[in-house]
């Protein structure tokens, strides 16, 4: 079968492309504004990428078009597909029909931590010899690819609550029918499609409704919004995980930065973990992954022994350089105030110099201003903030940073932002770039400047 994937450079759709290619399908695709790591993954797989949503980019012999959720009616290629009467489906539906039947599906859902938790879960299953398949919204560094079919019966999927496609407004995760589901946390996000938190909670409850009674739900015990989801009805055994609440799975921090912690299960000390990741939030991610792996037979003691080998996915507080005078550069995907705050808190808890935050407000929720009031407090752990305010940003970026104790710099272009950062950086600083997009390569450009 020959597929044309619309939006092929999205983290999810790029994974669909990789799975289809591994299945033996011919794959081509289109996108706009492409950037690594997905563009480089597609290149390595030999998948032809055509930039721009033009009708002529669709080969006449395509059997099926797989449409990403970033594309809407009015897009020239979407209109061409509809007018020509081509068969089309969504990425989530394609995955559900072509890959997941007969597999033990483990789905990781939540506002934050999906990529890290699903990467860690796939890694633990792999090291335990279960040879899982996976599709993750990022590139796990332990695997080097965002998706693979896997030879085992387990399949790990990062389960996103965003809508499926222009013709299917359900959340993507309702397609997956998991046996094991992780509910990491739940906050308001995706202001472009959800009017309020209650609307997202309904989608999460739709996911809960699909998990069989023989399965397992692993739920963050510290999250009140998830407790409300379960109160809507639950037909599956639930195990909870927490650091500061009663739960079946708990952790006790040995190091404040989260690099060392104990794991306890039902009051029994499982053991101690030491790893390279930072932050309380990553300890919670580890608890969730260990609990999910245990649900399919991986002993928690065994999982703990594997943790030191785990490497965080690309762009999850990924260290790009340690330059002159001990200046360290990190690239991070954080784009929600809570994720920004936890990323900065993790850096702050680790020993080192000043923390400089460089932020691109790029997500739909950020650009619409849904998080503008929460952004200032989220940045408090940074000693200084550098914020990109593109011309189309409708809210007052200067006002957000006006009360920041360390001061902030707002610039209208990436070049100007990097210039201000280069003038301000000092020996020992830790500089973290945060965006859910390419940020015009700002993090790598700054790292290259340090090395020059």
Q: Which long-range contacts (CB under 8 A, 24 or more apart) does 394-397 make?
A: 394/367, 394/368, 394/369, 395/369, 396/372, 397/361
CATH of the domain at 41: 3.40.50.720
Task: Indicate the pLDDT class of residue 344, thresholds 50, 70 and 90.
Answer: confident
Please check whether residues 56 and 178 belong to one and the same domain.
no
**Domain-terminating residue out of 46, 62, 91:** 91
Contact call for residues 401 and 387 (beta carbons, < 8 A): yes
Give the best-scoring range by mean pLDDT among 4-13, 375-384, 428-437.
4-13
Shared domain check, 112 and 73: no
CATH code: domain of residue 213: 3.40.1190.10
- For the chain, how many helices (H) and strands (E)? 15, 23
pTM value is 0.82
Q: Are residues 182 and 270 in the same domain?
A: yes
More confident residue, 33 or 244: 244
Nearest partner of 386 among 372, 373, 400, 374, judged by Cα = 400
Beta carbons within 8 Å of 192's beta carbon, 6+ residues apart: 364, 365, 368
Which has the closest alpha carbon to 381: 257, 275, 295?
Answer: 257
Q: Are residues 414 and 285 in the same domain?
A: no
Task: Look at residue 122 in the predicted model and tell me its pLDDT.
Answer: 98
Same domain for 120 and 247, yes or no, is: yes
pLDDT, average across residues 350-362? 84
Q: Are 331 and 404 in contact (CB under 8 A)?
A: no
Give the burial string for 363-393 (b: 16+ CB within 10 Å, else e): bebbbeebbbebbbebbebbbbbbbbbeeeb
The residue among 320 and 85 whose pLDDT is bigger is 85
pLDDT at 128 over 90: yes
Residue 301 and residue 428 in one domain: no
Cβ-based neighbours of 63, under 8 Å, separated by 6 or more: 1, 2, 3, 87
Same domain, 400 and 436: yes
- Cβ distance 157 to 148 under 8 Å? no
For residues 141 and 202, state if they share a domain. yes
Cβ contact 309:302 at 8 Å: no
* pLDDT at 366 (0 to 100): 65
Q: Which CATH number is 425's domain given?
A: 3.90.190.20
Domain that holds residue 36: 2-91
> Same structural domain for residues 257 and 353?
no
Report, as an integer, the average pLDDT of 304-328. Answer: 83
Indicate the pLDDT class of residue 368, thresholds 50, 70 and 90.
Answer: low
Cβ atoms 433, 439 nearer than 8 A? yes
Q: Can you tell me whether residue 117 is helix, strand or coil?
A: helix
**Residue 314's closest CA among 51, 23, 38, 6?**
38
Residues 67 and 204 both lie in one domain: no
User: Are 330 and 269 in the same domain?
Assistant: no
CB 273 within 8 A of CB 249: no
Contact 12, 34 (CB under 8 A): no
Separation between Cα atoms, residue 132 and residue 122, nearest integer Å: 6
Distance, in Å, from the CA atom of 23 to the CA atom of 260, rounded to the nearest integer, reads 40
Which pLDDT score, from 0 to 100, does residue 79 have?
Answer: 96
Residue after which a domain boundary falls, among 290, 309, 328? 309
Pair 68, 134 in one domain: no
Q: How many domains does the chain have?
A: 3
Chosen domain end from 91, 126, 159 = 91
**What pLDDT does residue 436 have?**
79
pLDDT of residue 184: 95
Instruction: Look over the chain and give the mean of its residue pLDDT values, rounded to a whole number.
Output: 90
* Residues 6+ away with beta carbon under 8 Å from 230: 208, 217, 219, 238
Least confident of 4-18, 328-342, 390-404: 390-404
- Asked whether the predicted pLDDT for residue 451 surpasses 80, the reply is yes
């Amino acid at each position: 079968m020959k597929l044309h994937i619309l939006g092929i450079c999205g983290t999810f759709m790029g994974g669909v492309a990789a799975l289809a290619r591994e299945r033996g399908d011919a794959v081509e695709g289109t996108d706009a504004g492409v950037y690594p790591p997905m563009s480089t993954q597609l290149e390595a797989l030999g998948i032809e990428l055509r930039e721009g949503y033009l009708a002529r980019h669709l080969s006449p012999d395509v059997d099926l078009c797989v449409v990403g959720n970033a594309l809407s009616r009015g897009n020239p290629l979407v209109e061409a597909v509809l007018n020509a009467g081509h068969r089309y489906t969504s990425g989530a539906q394609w995955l559900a029909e072509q890959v997941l039947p007969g597999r033990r599906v483990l789905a990781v859902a939540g506002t934050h931590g999906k990529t890290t938790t699903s990467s860690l879960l796939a890694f633990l299953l792999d090291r335990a010899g279960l040879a899982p398949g996976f599709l993750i919204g990022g590139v796990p560094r332990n695997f080097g690819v965002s998706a693979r079919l896997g030879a085992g019966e387990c399949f790990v999927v990062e389960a996103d609550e965003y809508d499926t496609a222009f013709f299917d407004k359900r959340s993507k995760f309702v397609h997956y029918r998991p046996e094991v589901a992780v509910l990491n946390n739940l906050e308001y996000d995706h202001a472009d499609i959800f009017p309020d938190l209650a609307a997202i909670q309904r989608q999460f409850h739709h996911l809960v409704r699909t998990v069989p009674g023989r399965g397992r739900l692993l739920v963050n015990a510290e999250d009140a919004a998830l407790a409300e989801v379960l109160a809507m009805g639950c037909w599956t055994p639930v195990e909870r995980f927490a650091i500061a609440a009663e739960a079946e799975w708990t952790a006790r921090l040995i190091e404040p930065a989260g690099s060392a912690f104990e794991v306890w299960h039902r009051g029994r000390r499982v053991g101690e973990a030491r790893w390279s990741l930072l932050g309380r939030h990553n300890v919670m991610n580890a608890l969730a992954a260990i609990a999910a792996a245990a649900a399919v037979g991986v002993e928690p003691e065994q999982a703990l022994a594997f943790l030191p080998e785990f490497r965080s996915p690309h762009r999850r507080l990924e260290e790009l350089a340690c330059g002159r005078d001990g200046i360290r550069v990190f690239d991070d995907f954080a784009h929600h105030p809570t994720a920004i705050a936890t990323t900065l808190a993790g850096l702050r808890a680790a020993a080192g110099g000043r923390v400089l935050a460089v932020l691109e407000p790029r997500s739909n929720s950020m650009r619409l201003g849904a998080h503008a009031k929460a952004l200032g407090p989220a940045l408090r752990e940074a000693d200084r903030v550098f914020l990109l305010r593109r011309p189309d940003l409708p809210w007052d970026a200067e006002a957000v940073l006006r009360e920041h104790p360390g001061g902030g710099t707002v610039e209208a272009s990436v070049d100007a932002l990097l210039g201000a950062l280069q003038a301000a950086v000092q020996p020992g600083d830790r500089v973290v770039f945060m965006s859910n997009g390419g940020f015009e390569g700002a993090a790598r450009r700054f790292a290259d400047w340090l090395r020059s």
